[in-house]
Structure 1
């Protein structure tokens, strides 16, 4: 798949720091409605499997989103329920995240997010750390920027999230989650709402305490 047209930009360079994530496929019309409501970026989903699944982001949808002036990045679906994390899964899911992003046409340098939440309490912190770092290695080796969404029951303390993981990009869920020492979060999620008939979780980007921000693809001069 040809790489999507656009520039890889810092999240703090966008028109506003307001964006959203959604599990709903977007069209030019629905994406435009969200852009018209003051949102500047969108986060859509990657499959854990090899190949994007029905309802996930694809090249056509990505093109439609970018056409409206929304910037774009992606997050991988988390396993359902209280799932088992281990290094092997991290390697597989990370490789699939990168390959699926490439199949969509997302350029290198865009931030891809690991969704860490609802981990089984039977998992050791060692296994969760291996899962996350192996995922990081696969995504990073493919030229993408690995980020981590910290959700409820992530299984790690704030100190472990910062000291034991390789990530430099942290996204705070709407749940009660650990603070990240030294760096903090660079994106924060708010409570679910509906805009133009689309269910979204609003997100706000601010540079973290070390100046870090996520990176997105953006097509300057577009707006239908």
Structure 2
């Protein structure tokens, strides 16, 4: 579990971090930190309890001890999934339960992975899915955020005007620009595997958006 020395903080701009789909050991966390990485984004499950290959309380403790701040993103379904408000509520509840289980405190940004929706899906269903998820996550005291990936089912106007969140993460895929506000986190995806300390990652950089807002994380 997180200790009293850890605190929820707003990210400064221009910081390098990474997201990873496999566990990161305390030893690897220290190696990342020495290499200039400041934060790690790890996964939460869509069901409970949280499996051992996703973020655990022990891994969270090791990441923090290694000098990395931490946020979490929830796994998305396989490409072609069908969104609905009820599904957003269900997965939002799982995200909250798993975030609490691993020891992420209120105030940390928890991300909804929005990508791979069924081709031609009704945009109102995508919006309902997202906003139901955001309502549950924000209602539990977390900051909600959305990872905008390929085939998200929404355009930039929808993302800005229709979604009940203020934290946006731009994937390394081809995705809409976000009007007015801009993205707070930007990912790089490479054609060849990006491997650091034996772990395949995607690199991310923090930004302060046009409204002066930024992502929040649990800092060591």
State the Cα deviation string for residues 50-105 of structure 1 (Å, max 9, x = none).
22123100100000000011000100000012111110110000111011100011
- Please state whether the residue corresponding to 1:29 is helix, strand or coil: helix
Matches of residues 48-59 of structure 1 in structure 2 within 5 Å? 48-59=46-57
User: Counterpart of 1:197?
Assistant: 198
User: Aligned-pair RMSD on alpha carbons?
Assistant: 1.2
Normalising by the residue count of structure 2, what TM-score does the alignment of the two structures yield?
0.95
Partner of 2:151: 153
TM-score by length of 1: 0.94
Deviation per CA, 1:9-29: give whole Å up to 9, x if none: 01117xx61000001101111
Q: CA deviation at 1:122?
A: 3.8
Consecutive unaligned residues of structure 2, counting only runs of 5 or more, are: none
SS of residue in 2 equivalent to 1:72: strand
**Alpha carbons 1:189, 1:203 under 8 Å: kept:** yes
2:91 match: secondary structure? helix
Q: Name stretches of at least 5 consecutive residues in structure 1 with no aligned partner.
A: 220-224
Which residue matches 1:123? Answer: 121
Q: Is the 8 A contact 2:43 2:55 kept in 1?
A: yes
- Equivalent residues, number: 216
Large movers: runs of 4+ above 3 Å: 2-5
Partner of 1:207: 208
Match of 2:77 in 1: 79
CA distance in 1: counterparts of 2:16 and 2:117, whole angstroms: 29
Checking the alignment, whether the CA contact within 8 Å between 1:4 and 1:106 is kept in structure 2 is no
Which residue among 183, 186, 194 is the counterpart of 2:184? 186
